[in-house]
Amino acid sequence: MSKKTFRESINEAIKQEMRRDENVIVLGEDVAGGAGTKGDQDAWGGPMAVTKGLAPEFGRERVIDTPITESAIIGTAAGAALTGLRPIADLMFVDFMGVCFDQIFNQAGKFRYMFGGKAVTPLTIRTMYGGGLRAASQHSQCLYPIFTHIPGLKVVIPSNPYDAKGLFVQAVRDDDPVVFFEHKMMYDDEGEVPDELYTIPFGEANFTREGKDVALISMGRTVNLCNQVADEIKKDNISCSVLDLRTLSPLDEDSILEAVEETGRVVIVDESSPRCNVATDISALISDKAFSSLKAPVKMITPPHTPVPFSPALEDLYLPSADNIKKTISNILN
């Protein structure tokens, strides 16, 4: 056990799974960098250096730099998965899903069903999401609700380095296509991560804080915002539980209902655009299955329904904030 960053924990998960199983390969734009040139090899390791060091250890046959064509990356990976490999495809920014979405939702996501359960698609798609990098509206979206909407896809969204490694190993070993969401502002977050391989099953949400007044439900990076708020308002004698969903599909409905029953007040924090997102989905679930436990209306903290602003001042206003969460908590308590 030692301290590792989010970046290191995913790198280690990929490396250890590649050592364990020779069918695991990595492909994407600049996942190594320098392919076919006389220059620096393994120059990049992806835009955030998550895959750095893989090419020297496993060779170019298993760490494949692709052309700048998302449809080719995902199409190749889906076919490779169908024929026996366990590819890890790097979609880089989730904002680019538009050009390869057919392969994801109508091909990879459907193979098992269209071939009567006789075909499996052990494909892991890594992708970056979220605001905060001042990267403007074409490189800052969340978009995980779109993938969550599609039956046949599994959607994973870790909030810390320990979960990142365990969920990633599970994704690689899973026989269905898994979309693995990494918030681009989290790569330097640190936490205790075992050196050994381990898995975390999909569909098990995790209580990161215990409390009895209000339940904060969230996913990915905003879980940390909720933890921070829960810690800060303890001194005002308000006790919040925080539920980290970990996976959006499958969704751990039981833990959501448990959180509602324990507190009666719920604030859902979701960084994705507010129409048809995870917050609205959970809110609907709660009003359907836990209405009688509620002591106050379910509150949702999301950005406004606009593209992510490029102006740093506006982007900060756009994203869910600790202040916002605190105000909402105090409103539903009074």
Partner 1 sequence: MADSIIPIVMPKWGLAMKEGSVTSWLKNEGDKVNKGETFVEIETEKVVNEFESPEEGILLKKVIENDIKVPVGSLIAILGNENTDTNEIEKFIEDFQSNFTPPSDDEEDSNLEKIIQIKNIDINYLQLGENNSKNIVFVHGFGGDLNNWMFNQEELSSNFNTFSIDLPGHGKSSKNIDQGNLEYLSDIVKDFCNQNNLEKICLVGHSLGGGICLNIALENSELVESLILISPIGLGKEIDNYVEEFIKSESRRDLKPQLEKLYYNKELITRDLVNEVLKFKRLDGVEKALQIIKDGTLIENNNQKTFLGDKIETLKSKISIIWGENDEIIPNTHIKELPSNIETHIFKESGHMSHIEKSKEVNEIIVKLN
Residues at the contact surface with partner 1, assessed by CB under 8 A? 1, 3, 162, 166, 194, 196-201, 204, 206-207, 210, 231, 234-235, 239, 254
Cis bond before residue 87 (omega within 30° of 0): no
Q: Name the minimum Å distance from CB 193 to partner 1.
A: 11
Joined together, the tokens standing for residue 45 give: 């390791």
Question: Smaller CB distance to partner 1: residue 40 or 196?
Answer: 196
Question: Smaller CB distance to partner 1: residue 122 or 131?
Answer: 122
Q: What is the DSSP letter of 236?
A: G
Q: Which residues pair with 28 in a beta bridge?
A: 65, 90
Taking Cα atoms as reference points, which of 128, 147, 100, 102 lies closest to residue 247?
147
Question: Smaller CB distance to partner 1: residue 6 or 147?
Answer: 6
Q: Which residues pair with 241 in a beta bridge?
A: 215
Taking the C-alpha atoms of residue 334 and residue 329, their distance in angstroms, rounded to an integer, is 9
Which of 139, 149, 183, 305 is catalytic? The answer is 139
10 Å CB burial of residue 172 (0-12, 13-18, 19+) is buried
Are 94 and 143 within 8 A, CB to CB?
yes
Q: Name the minimum Å distance from CB 295 to partner 1.
A: 21
Q: Is 139 a catalytic residue?
A: yes
Question: Smaller CB distance to partner 1: residue 35 or 197?
Answer: 197
R_g of the chain computed on alpha carbons: 20
Question: Smaller CB distance to partner 1: residue 210 or 261?
Answer: 210
Phi, psi of 301 (to 5 degrees): -110, 110
Give the CA angle between residues 209, 50, 272 to the nearest 5°: 50
Q: Name the minimum Å distance from CB 230 to partner 1.
A: 11
| DSSP string covering 67-110 | -S-HHHHHHHHHHHHHTT-EEEEEEEEGGGGGGGHIIIIIIITT
Are 77 and 38 within 8 A, CB to CB?
no
Q: Name the minimum Å distance from CB 313 to partner 1.
A: 34
Q: Name the minimum Å distance from CB 259 to partner 1.
A: 11
Question: Smaller CB distance to partner 1: residue 81 or 200?
Answer: 200
Question: Smaller CB distance to partner 1: residue 1 or 313?
Answer: 1
Q: Name the minimum Å distance from CB 197 to partner 1.
A: 4
Q: Name the minimum Å distance from CB 204 to partner 1.
A: 6
Q: Per residue, what are the HEC states of 249-296?
A: ECCCHHHHHHHHHHHCCEEEECCCCCCCCHHHHHHHHHHHHCHHHCCC
The CA distances from residue 316 to 28, 47, 304, 320, in Å, are 31, 23, 12, 8
Residues with a catalytic annotation lie at: 139
